[in-house]
Structure 1
Amino acid sequence: MKRPFRAKSVADVLNSPESVLKGLLDKANSLKSITDSIHQHLPEDLQKHCTVSEYNKTSLVITADSPVWATRLRYQSSELLTQLRQAGFLGLANIQIKIDPNKSTP
Structure 2
Amino acid sequence: MASSLDNPLFLIGLAIIVLSSLVSFFCFIRVLIWMFQNDETTWGTVCLVLTFLSGLGPLIGYVLGWTLPREGQLRPTMGIWTLSIVVTIVGTILVIATSGAITTQ
TM-score normalised according to structure 2 size: 0.39
- Structure whose residues are more often helix by fraction: 2
Structure with greater Cα Rg: 1
- Structure whose residues are more often strand by fraction: 1
TM-score normalised according to structure 1 size: 0.38
Q: Which protein has greater RCO, CA pairs closer than 8 Å, 6+ apart? A: 2
